[in-house]
Structure 1
Amino acid sequence: MDPQLSLRRLEIFRLVVEERSVTRAAEVLLVAQPAVSAQLRALEGWVGAKLFARQGNRLVLTEAGERTERWAREVLAGAAQVRRDVGDLASGETGRVIIASSMAVGTYIVPPIMAEVGRQRPRADITVSISRPEEVVHAVESGECDMAVLNWDQRRLPENIASELLGSFSLSVYAAPGLVPDGARLSAAEALRLPLVGAPDTVVYQRNLVTQLRAAGHEEPRFLLRLGHAEAMKNAAVANGWALIAPAYAVRAELVAGALVELAVDDLQLEEHVTLIHRDDKHFSPLQSAAVAAIREGVTATAERDLLETHHE
């Protein structure tokens, strides 16, 4: 018995079944009839039973042949599906991508970018998880995610992590309407004496903010309340008539709704850096490469939009 079974042999068998004739199958395949007969004998040797019986001038399937034909149909259909699936993977239409992100970046920047990727590739499996930056870096290093987009404070990353600065975003002072008279221009010291909502000292965003303030010679403001997410910070500022320091992308909805206004502040130049990181030995699938390209383009577009929409008079 021939131990080898090829898809080609099953395809020839199925064609003979469809044509009910070895001769006609050979004509379709443009091969000699003995070549088709040899393939059938080899398949019969593999299954250990006769597959055809002759009724007059026609070939009909035996009971073993009927069972083999059903199985061959399933095998060939499965093989075709595998080819389609692998082809889709190669084109980036399917597959999986897991992106980790820090709080604000993962809330306001990454989701709309990846939503567009998902809209263009509805069969792709796309996940965006949100954690503290240190946990995000660990997830990348351990291989739990394919890449990460985060606000990083330029501390040294592990040696096996590659990083790419995607964009820099200005941080401005935003306040509930009425906290500062309309049209007022504040000095940096005046702005920093406003009732401010901040983040915990352990949060990268807050460390980055305080480091820049100290480097510019400003005293660290006294934050009335420290909250761990931009949404909570904004809600507290709006509800209590307070202020906060944030990137424009994080407060866009509140600015449009009039719940917050940007304050004109002199000599207060603050920014945050949004970085893409991944293992330096990471091999990106076509889908993951498409995600990286979309993130690069999306972060750049967000930075440009913030620059256009943010005015300091």
Structure 2
Amino acid sequence: MVDPRYIRMFHEVVRTGSYSAAARCLGYSQPAVSQQMRALERTVGTPLFVRAGHELRLTEAGRILAKHADSVVEDLTAAQNKLSAVKELRSGGIRVCAFPSASATLVPTAAARATAENPDLRIRLSEAEPPDSLESLRRGECDITLAFTYPGIEEQVSGDVVGLGVLDDPVVAVLPAGHRLAKRRSVELAELADERWIAGCPRCREYFVRACGEAGFEPDIAFTTDDNLAVQGLVAAGTGVALMPRLVLSFLRHRKVIGRRVRGVEPRSILAYTLSDHREVPTTALMLETFRQVGAEMRADS
């Protein structure tokens, strides 16, 4: 059995290209790294490095081990993160990762409610869009992830991840205040077929293009940006129109744009994900239930 510490050090030597560079990154002395690499070579029974002048090169055995070292180190890091998560959860702390519009709406309301009832609860918030946020959960870097998906987009989650429905967030057409359809309460997507469009994040853009296709047209995408305020600024300036989740407009609205419900376009689904073995941890269960309640109240108010 190879000592995991040797694999970590081997991985760092390969990454940095030398014993001395790996020693600096890991906080060891150069002789200590050399000693552990010799111990690793004795364990596997063959040399892993050869010197070519001042350059350190991998042997064939070293290249084989290097192919597996990345995943081994990643798995070890994930395990350590998850162990740390259990420790933090038991001490009354929880880490939540959310996409920006959820961070500005769902999270503050849920956090205020949860901490009002549990003053010792400590919440650490980070931001990421799916699928990156779900990878963060899988790696043990957070305890709950708020993520969204659209109809027809299959969410790739591992078997140890479970999701709880929080909110269905309708899609709205973002139009300049003086647009020809501005006085309508809702519009058909096909009525905007001749417009120029500003497209959003990759996941939103994928669904938008498909929805336009189902409405019988291919959108003329003039601009693409992940910045919701930039989208609205471009719409306000008359450069195009956009589709946007209504949750965004609930907290961030340019004064010269309006949002109109789009008939026939399905909403995005917002879910709270956690690891299956964390569902019964009190702090995780508390936050999941709080997110569910807040989502239900937002649905009732819409």
- Class of the TM-score when normalised by the shorter of the 2 chains: 0.5 to 0.7
Cα deviation 1:124-174 (Å, max 9, x = unaligned): 210221112121111111111111111123333222211222232221212
- Among 229, 232, 253, the alignment partner of 1:231 is 229
SS in 1 for 2:136: helix
- Among 130, 142, 146, the alignment partner of 1:149 is 146
Residue 190 of structure 1 aligns with which residue?
A: 191
Contact 1:168 1:272 in 2 (8 A): yes
Counterpart amino acid of 1:297?
Q
Contact 2:146 2:270 in 1 (8 A): yes
Residue 209 of structure 1 aligns with which residue?
A: 208
Contact 1:249 1:302 in 2 (8 A): no
- Cα distance in 2, alignment partners of residues 158 and 93 from structure 1: 24
SS in 2 for 1:281: helix
- Cα distance in 1, alignment partners of residues 291 and 266 from structure 2: 23
SS in 2 for 1:262: strand
When normalised by structure 2's length, the TM-score is: 0.60
Larger Rg: 1
Residue 165 of structure 1 aligns with which residue?
A: 165
How many residue pairs get aligned? The number is 210
Contact 1:166 1:299 in 2 (8 A): yes
Counterpart amino acid of 1:106?
S
SS in 2 for 1:261: strand
- Cα distance in 1, alignment partners of residues 134 and 98 from structure 2: 9
- Cα distance in 2, alignment partners of residues 247 and 179 from structure 1: 19
Counterpart amino acid of 1:260?
V
What is the deviation of 1:241? 6.3
Residue 106 of structure 2 aligns with which residue?
A: 109
Residue 289 of structure 2 aligns with which residue?
A: 293
Contact 1:234 1:251 in 2 (8 A): no
Kindly report the root-mean-square deviation, in angstroms, between the aligned alpha carbons of the 2 structures: 2.8
Counterpart amino acid of 1:224?
A
Contact 1:172 1:248 in 2 (8 A): yes
How do 1:112-123 and structure 2 match up within 5 A?
A: 112-123=109-120
- Cα distance in 2, alignment partners of residues 271 and 169 from structure 1: 5
What is the deviation of 1:187? 4.3
Residue 269 of structure 1 aligns with which residue?
A: 265
How many percent of aligned residue pairs carry the same amino acid? Answer: 12
Residue 251 of structure 1 aligns with which residue?
A: 249
- Cα distance in 2, alignment partners of residues 262 and 246 from structure 1: 8
When normalised by structure 1's length, the TM-score is: 0.58
Check 1:237–1:94 CA distance in 2 against 1; reply closer, same or farther (3 A cut). Answer: farther
SS in 1 for 2:277: coil
Contact 1:93 1:124 in 2 (8 A): no
SS in 2 for 1:154: coil
